[in-house]
Amino acid sequence: MKIAARTQVGIIGAGPSGLLLARLLTQRGIDVVVLERRSRDYVEGRIRAGVLEQGSAAVLDSAGAAERMRTDGVEHDGVQIAFDGRIERIDLQRYARMPVIVYGQTEVTKDLYQLNRLDDISIHYEVQASGVTGLDEGAARIHYQEAGRKLELVCDFVAGCDGYHGVSRQSIPADVLRTYEKTYPFGWLGVLSNTRPASPELIYTNHERGFALCSQRSATVSRNYIQVATDDSVETWSDTAFWDELRRRVPAEVADTLQTGPSIEKSIAPLRSFIAEPLRYGRLFLVGDSGHIVPPTGAKGLNLAVSDTAMLASALKAYYADGDAQGIDRYSTVALKRVWQAQRFSWWFTMATHRLADSVFDQRMQIVDLDYFTGTEAGRTSIAENYVGLPIEDPVTGHSLP
């Protein structure tokens, strides 16, 4: 096997976390190489979350990747929850003193790629990583194939940004790795369309027929979802059937003004909660979906990937600049604390808004729960603080990032 290159930090995965980490490290003169198994067009075309916490926006600012987000993104000062025949609004500015920003992950990825191209960062698309070795030795090695050749990338550290199905987490010994998982008995059917959003703010709906979410990507592009069975398929849902069902679930005042149109993209995503511990093993660090998955209900997936990245970048900067290993030693502990907090909110929001069973008792308990959280100062504050995102702790200093 041929050694293709030697670098300081090898990054597996060229999604938002991999590209953001590459940018943040390059800014400090740390050498990186990025390996991605998919094509660039595939990575940039993936439809994903579109809600950014202010902490994530600040990290993108620090990377110089926020120009389009600031001009094209839409600030939301509130979020709406519909249940029991009414709509309750959570004022994010009042209860958390900050908004969220609606800006698609696809656009974040494009912005980061353009910056990395200008930085002349080495990004290899359509290469297949098969494993990582040497994690407890003097240097780590990423084994991969490119254009039919078997190669190795030798590096000081490896950042696993390759998602749930990637090789990074699989490279941690089974007797070291602990995993926690919950699979939800439903999925989300999502439709992207060139239609006016149903509302200036996102509307999460608890309905007896199932959950619904009216979301958006811009003033002219909407992204709407309905809860479906896990064994459902896209082929069973025509555009007309989707819009009809969405109308049944959202409040009447929303349904009456809902603009419909042909779907640009339509897909079903399963919901699950997953966390791997630890997020560091020797010279390997797990970042984003390679270490944890959250239900999309709280819009935390991309934001957790950004916070992981910011923490790891700070830790590696301190290591290379000052020989300070405290940050890399604390990365897993500090990152997991925030991951579990976001997981708790995503789990609660999912359980409170989705149809869980045919039990009338359970449905009434959901209404009582939502009554409390939307009808009290404490409850509204809890939703707002979690929705806009908890602080990102620097594993080096203990202060907030960036």
Q: Is 204 assigned a catalytic role?
A: yes
Say which residues have a Cβ less than 8 Å from residue 38's Cβ, sequence separation at least 6: 14, 125, 126
Answer for the pair 63, 27: CB distance below 8 angstroms, yes or no: yes
Alpha helices in 97-223 (DSSP H): 105-118, 167-170
User: Average pLDDT over the chain, rounded to whole?
Assistant: 95
Dihedrals φ, ψ of 379, to 5°? -65, -45
Residue 178 tokens read as 């602990």
Q: Which helix (H) or strand (E) holds 176?
A: none
Kindly list the structural domains of the chain, giving each domain's residue range(s) and its CATH number in brackets, ordered by start: 2-182+271-393 (3.50.50.60), 190-270 (3.30.9.10)
Q: What is the chain's alpha carbon radius of gyration, rounded to the nearest angstrom?
A: 21
| CA 265, chain centre distance (Å) | 19
Q: Is 262 assigned a catalytic role?
A: no
**Spatial CA neighbour of 327 closest among 317, 337, 339, 341:** 317
Cα end-to-end span (Å), the chain: 40
SS3 sequence of 291-355: CEECCHHHCCHHHHHHHHHHHHHHHHHHHHHHCCCHHHHHHHHHHHHHHHHHHHHHHHHHHHHCC
pTM: 0.95
Q: Is 76 assigned a catalytic role?
A: yes
> In this predicted structure, what is the pLDDT of residue 402?
84
> In this predicted structure, what is the pLDDT of residue 1?
57
Cα distance between residue 143 and residue 145, in whole Å: 7
Q: Is 296 assigned a catalytic role?
A: yes
Edge-to-edge strands, sheet with 178-193: 86-91, 78-83, 203-205, 212-216, 222-228, 178-193, 263-277, 292-293
Mean pLDDT in consecutive groups of 10 residues from the start of the chain, 402 residues? 84 97 97 95 78 97 96 96 97 98 93 93 96 96 94 97 97 97 96 96 96 93 96 96 98 96 95 97 98 96 97 98 97 98 98 90 94 98 98 97 88
Cα distance between residue 111 and residue 19, in whole Å: 10
Identity of the residue numbered 151: L
- Choose the catalytic residue: 197, 251, 295, 296: 296
Q: Is 387 assigned a catalytic role?
A: yes
CB under 8 A, 24+ apart: contacts of 207-212: 207/82, 207/83, 207/248, 207/249, 207/250, 207/355, 208/355, 208/363, 209/245, 209/248, 209/249, 209/355, 210/186, 210/249, 210/354, 210/355, 211/186, 211/249, 211/353, 211/354, 211/355, 212/246, 212/249, 212/250
Cα distance between residue 211 and residue 204, in whole Å: 8
- Choose the catalytic residue: 124, 292, 300, 317: 300
- Choose the catalytic residue: 76, 110, 207, 292: 76
